[in-house]
Amino acid sequence: MGKPTGFMEIEREESFERDPIERINDWNEYSAPFTDDEMKRQGARCMDCGTPFCHIGMDIDGATSGCPVYNLIPEWNDLVYKGKWKEALDRLLKTNNFPEFTGRVCPAPCEGSCTVAINDPAVAIKNIEQAIIDKGFENGWITPRIPDHRTGKKIAIVGSGPAGLAAADQLNQAGHKVTVYERADRAGGLLTYGIPNMKLDKDVVERRVQLLRDEGVEFILNTEVGKDISADEIKSSYDSVILCTGAQKHRDLPIEGRDGKGIRFAMDYLTRATESLLDDKVQAEEELDAKGKDVIVIGGGDTGADCIATALRQGANSIVQFGKHPQLPIKRTEDNMWPAYPQVFSLEYAHKEAKYKFGEDIRQYSIQTKKFVTDENGKLKELHTVEMKKTRDENGMFVFEEIPGTEKVWPAQLVLIAIGFEGAEQPVLKAFDVHVERNRVDAKYGDFQTNIDHVFAAGDARRGQSLIVWAINEGREVAHQVDQYLMGETALPTVANM
């Protein structure tokens, strides 16, 4: 274990972030580098408790608790504490293909179920994970692993997000020839076009994609399956196909004035911002540039937070974020006890930045947008809202009621709709003729097989919009199944045999 008395002597260090004063002026990662010594101290806080809930991911009351890829957290905490970084890296890579992504952007459900967190701040697991993998790259310990045998089997993966990349990595290492089809000009899915650069530097994503290329995975970009190449051609050319197309079907807000200029989906906004950052030739569309504008983000989740951080860097005049739900409590309530994911108030990186810039928390809770109003040129000029009360109906279900007299008008020239996703985009699923249930591919977790012979599905396309760590889990698990299907046996790991 770490230091036996570490959790009593050492406090959790919270400041592994750059100062907002500095970081809102650039697009570099907001996290700050940490020293070996700092990480050693944080690793020392691990109790190596008898039942480490931190390393087993499960759903409790609809939220993930513990690590969905079963990272061997107490083991690598101990190794970091002892300065055995290479051994810690070997342990980490046993369970997680891409710790450089999760170490930066995972919401760390492991920390909510850390035993130290029962009455103290959790062990800084996510930071330690990032430190281990970053050291691995810095020291040249991560090199291409070229498989020494090839099976002759060919696999097509549609979609290059974390699910597709994890499946590609596993199946390539098993000796199969893997080809990944991606409609965007860069691989990575939401890791590339979705999550902004200040959370996850695009060089970090490209470094991993290049490593996979060096190991033998082929990427075919700018190619939409079902349009640029038919599903039938893919099915007949490969021994197995895995659909990892994500769940990016927007949820809209069809209220009065919705077709005004300046009311856009968050994903269009975030994608264009990253495109223009990565490619000087891509100009930010005027409508999607927050500079000098009053910006309102509708939706209280992480996508909304990413819009805030982006609009700040573009020089927005003001930013407000609307959330439907009331503010969360400061501490856990009785119906949200450890080891469930803590549903408590927090300031995300974007909220800290906005608070620094505008002097207050920019979130508005329990609020509903009633209509958009445009000027004579059809450009957005204001939003009308009303406050809501969250209560339970006679069946005990939550319902929202308008509070009379709380109507308000907000000036705005840019509104970003970030109220979630309805599920997987349907055209590609129709092209493969796979069954769909509630907008997701109907394939059972554990076997991932669709109704179509040799076509499998994994990640958000199967599960609905989720987390990177779950996408990695599903990529690994589907790889296990596909290898078994093709070879009649498999040595690829599954969480069931770890």
Give the footprint of ligand SF4 on this chain (CB under 6 A).
Answer: 67, 69, 71, 73, 96, 102, 106, 108-110, 125-126, 129, 469
Instruction: State the pairing for strand pair 408-411/380-392.
Output: antiparallel
Q: Which stretch binds ligand FAD (CB under 6 A): 220-228, 277-285, 378-386, 406-414?
A: 220-228
Q: How far is Cα 471 from Cα 469, in angstroms, rounded to an integer? A: 5
Smallest distance, ligand FAD to C-beta of residue 162, A: 5
Q: Write out the H or E segment, with its range, that includes residue 477.
A: helix 468-487
Give 419: exposed, middle or buried? Use CB within 10 Å, 0-12, 13-18, 19+: buried
Does 17 interact with ligand FAD (rule: CB under 6 A)?
no
Nearer to ligand SF4, 96 or 413 (CB): 96
Residues pairing with 363 in the sheet = 321
Pair 157, 164: CB distance under 8 Å:
yes
Q: Does 245 bind ligand FAD (CB under 6 A)?
A: yes
| Residues 6 or more apart in contact with residue 133 via CB below 8 angstroms | 89, 92, 99, 100, 103, 142
Question: Closest separation between CB of residue 114 and ligand SF4, Å?
Answer: 9
Residue identified by tokens 């997680």 is 96
Contact between residue 100 and residue 134 where contact means Cβ atoms under 8 Å apart: yes
Residue 248's binding partner out of ligand SF4, ligand FAD, none, with CB under 5 to 8 Å set by partner kind: ligand FAD
Instruction: Give least dist CB 109 to ligand SF4, A.
Output: 5
Give the angle 308-311-317 at the CA atoms, nearest 5°: 110
| Least distance to ligand FAD, CB of residue 251, Å | 11
Partner from ligand FAD, ligand SF4, none contacting 65, C-beta within 5 to 8 A by type: none
- Shortest CB 133 distance to ligand FAD, Å: 16
Measured in whole angstroms, the distance separating CA 379 from the mean position of its chain's CA atoms is: 33
At 422, the amino acid letter reads E
Write the DSSP symbol of residue 286.
G
The least distance separating ligand SF4 from the CB of residue 128, rounded to whole angstroms, comes to 9
314 binds, among ligand SF4, ligand FAD, none (CB under 5 to 8 A by kind): none
In this complex, which beta carbon is closest to ligand SF4, that of residue 110 or of residue 290?
110
Q: Do the beta carbons of residue 69 and residue 494 sit within 8 Å?
A: no
What DSSP character marks residue 12?
P
**CB contact at 8 A, 459 and 471:** yes
Q: Does 466 bind ligand FAD (CB under 6 A)?
A: yes
Element at 431 (helix H, strand E): helix 426-432
Peptide bond into 52 cis (omega under 30): no
Whether the CB-CB separation of 270 and 303 falls below 8 Å is answered with yes
Which residues in 405-434 contact ligand FAD (CB under 6 A)? 425, 428
Token pair, residue 342, equals: 């803590």
Contact region for ligand FAD (CB under 6 A) — 10-18, 48-56, 124-132, 219-227? Answer: 219-227
Centroid of chain to Cα 343: 18
Instruction: Please report how close the Cβ of residue 305 comes to ligand FAD at its closest, in angstroms.
Output: 8
Residue 126, contacted partner among ligand SF4, ligand FAD, none, CB below 5-8 A by kind: ligand SF4
- Which residue, 122 or 297, has its beta carbon nearer to ligand FAD? 297
CA 109/CA 54 separation, integer angstroms: 8
The per-residue DSSP string of 358-401 comes to: HSS--EE-SEEEEEEEE-TTSBEEEEEEEEEEEEE-TTS-EEEE
- Minimum distance, C-beta of residue 342 to ligand SF4, in the bound complex (Å): 13
Q: 244 contacts which partner out of ligand SF4, ligand FAD, none, CB within 5 to 8 A by kind?
A: ligand FAD
Site residues for ligand FAD, window 310-349 (CB under 6 A)?
Answer: none
Picked from ligand SF4, ligand FAD, none, the partner binding residue 181 (CB below 5 to 8 A depending on kind) is: ligand FAD
Partner in contact with 197, chosen from ligand SF4, ligand FAD, none, beta carbon below 5 to 8 Å by kind: none
Q: Which of residues 36-75 bind ligand FAD (CB under 6 A)?
A: none
Question: How many alpha carbons lie under 13 Å from residue 45 in its C-beta half-sphere?
Answer: 22
38, 13 Cβ separation under 8 angstroms: yes
Q: Which stretch binds ligand FAD (CB under 6 A): 34-42, 156-164, 349-357, 388-396?
A: 156-164
Q: By C-beta, is 257 or 342 nearer to ligand SF4? A: 342
- The tokens for 131 are 């430190």
Q: What, of ligand SF4, ligand FAD, none, does residue 169 touch, CB below 5 to 8 Å by kind? A: none
- Of 42, 172, 248, 274, the residue at the interface with ligand FAD (CB under 6 A) is 248
**Total residues binding ligand FAD (CB under 6 A):** 41
Q: Which residues bind ligand FAD (CB under 6 A)?
A: 105-107, 158-164, 181-184, 189-190, 194-195, 199, 224-226, 244-246, 248, 270, 302-303, 306, 425, 428, 459-461, 465-469, 471
